[in-house]
Structure 1
């Protein structure tokens, strides 16, 4: 089957990552099935849309049927990760295996726990918080399935993301929508610590690269991102690109604890505060050395595109 005709299935296509992976695949001329629970999605012409509950093995198997590559971009709500994410991922693994498809998992960096140097793929799974342990468990289980010959697997990891459609992120609605509404944009954590931020279209390009290259199989990969910024630097770019006076502040640990009394998502951020109060930087050397440079979008250009999306959304 040629690369142009092979079916690429994107699970969680209604979310920010999944939707962007669909767009990247379409741009490469691939045949795409976009899957979410409802089966109602705005998609580019030519994309098949399917409704399926991939939290069950039967639903995931139906969604993955006929696939050559499956992109697992689905996730439960943040406050339900601990109870639901591993079971969902196991159902997806079974679905991909039934289709004899390669499985690419859109992963993050929680499994490493507190770090003192830029993160590499060789670091141990040192997280002790529940969400970090779940992430580590899923990664280990998928890679073990690959080694057992059950399903081909590649893991693509990114830091906090932003970009068109990226609302549920520390660099999402609380930054972009707030700035455009003339409110205070709030950065979660220390404003002056360097932090890697992944632009959604860059992350999608990296995931599709892993899906289409056998050298990715059986390994975890950090997807390249533009240079780390402090929260302050990032917010200054946002306001400069928006042409608005700067109005921003940090959500510190005390405020996070207070807001967490009424908001379970904010409360859960306390488990990983080490990502907010010290440098949190990724090293994607392994990816670049293997696949060559992945051109990343400069932050001002990426911020401009993100602002345009939020403007359109807020004006609807």
Structure 2
């Protein structure tokens, strides 16, 4: 898609994914409009910042006016998924239709449910709980909008995030624990291979979709590093932090107990299967079409630790 003066609009620019997409667009010298309900400090000076609540359809359309492409990076706490994600889905489609701009959707892997091998874009959707079922329904809505000509849509999927601004289990349980020289925690098995997605790599993949017409109408697994066990990942983080690794695993009952005091932890029990057995995302479809741009683990961990250190200053 040719670059012009029309902005690439990032919905949900306050979150980790949204911030990473904003930075990737700036790095590619694209005009950017960052949209969020709340203030979004720390963005590059050249970025146009717009406050809008995209649960309001009119506000969402106004925020996306004249867009070159729209990146749906919005998310909400687990407890609000059922109420708000369908609304954000519908309003982002309507905004893309209004702006006549492609809609690039950031998505996860919940809709697949437990699998016997690496997940591809064709893996059957067999969710085992309400979150996975909702994600499968959202996929159907987005792809139906494309198939009926209502909007032009592509979906980019990733596994668990880590990196600057990431809101994920590794943030407090691994990186912050390493800096505190305390014991890290990992959900499920420490020895099951797991795909992790570094936020800047995810953003590179999502923006690549937004700048290629041939990406539209398809679902894509975005490039990530090779699967890694929780044990190996924690050891890498602690060694780079200059600490001796210390770790423990949280199973279902430990999460249940912790969830009595933390609603997000309670809700996370539904997806514990992702950590109890190998959870591997196949990204060959994207790589065959667009190539690969993946940051080595050592570099990604170092940059993430540096960001965590900076937040303490």
Fold conserved (TM > 0.5)?
Answer: yes
Alignment length (residue pairs) = 313
What corresponds to 1:67 in structure 2? Answer: 67
Write the mapping of 1:150-299 to structure 2, written as runs, cut at 5 A.
150-166=150-166, 168-291=167-290, 293-299=291-297
CA contact under 8 A between 1:55 and 1:92: conserved in structure 2? no
2:43 aligned with 1:43, yes or no? Answer: yes
Question: Which runs of 5 or more residues in structure 2 are unaligned?
Answer: none
1:243 is displaced (CA, Å) by 1.1
For residue 39 of structure 1, report the CA deviation from its aligned partner.
Answer: 4.3
User: CA 1:2–1:289 in structure 2 vs 1: closer, same or farther (change >3 Å)?
Assistant: closer
> Which secondary structure state, in structure 2, belongs to the residue aligned with residue 79 of structure 1?
helix
Shift of 1:97: 1.0
Tell me the secondary structure at the aligned position of residue 85 of structure 1: helix
CA distance in 2 between partners of 1:39 and 1:172 (Å):
22
Q: Is 139-148 or 252-261 further displaced after alignment? A: 252-261
Task: Give, in angstroms, the shift of residue 2 of structure 1.
Answer: 4.2
Q: Where does residue 16 of structure 1 map in the other structure?
A: 16
- The structural deviation recorded for 1:45 is 1.8
C-alpha distance in 2 between matches for 1:189 and 1:4: 47
Gaps spanning 5+ residues in structure 1: where? none
- Which segment is superposed worse, 127-136 or 15-24? 127-136
Partner residue in 1 for 2:312: 314
Q: Report the aligned-residue RMSD.
A: 1.2
- CA distance in structure 1 between the aligned counterparts of 2:150 and 2:57, rounded to whole angstroms: 15
CA distance in 2, matches of 1:92, 1:249: 41
- 1:303 aligns to what? 301
8 Å contact from structure 1 (residues 41, 49) kept in 2: no
Superimposed CA distance per residue, residues 211-266 of structure 1 (whole angstroms, 9 cap, x where no aligned partner): 00011101110001011000000000001111111122111222111111222111
Q: Aligned partners of 1:138, 1:100: CA distance in 2, in Å?
A: 21
The residue number in structure 2 matching 1:126 is 126
- Output the CA distance in 1 between the equivalents of 2:38 and 2:84: 19
Shift of 1:128: 2.8
CA distance in 2, matches of 1:243, 1:212: 41
User: TM-score, with normalisation over the residues of structure 1?
Assistant: 0.96
**Alpha-carbon deviation of 1:44?**
0.5
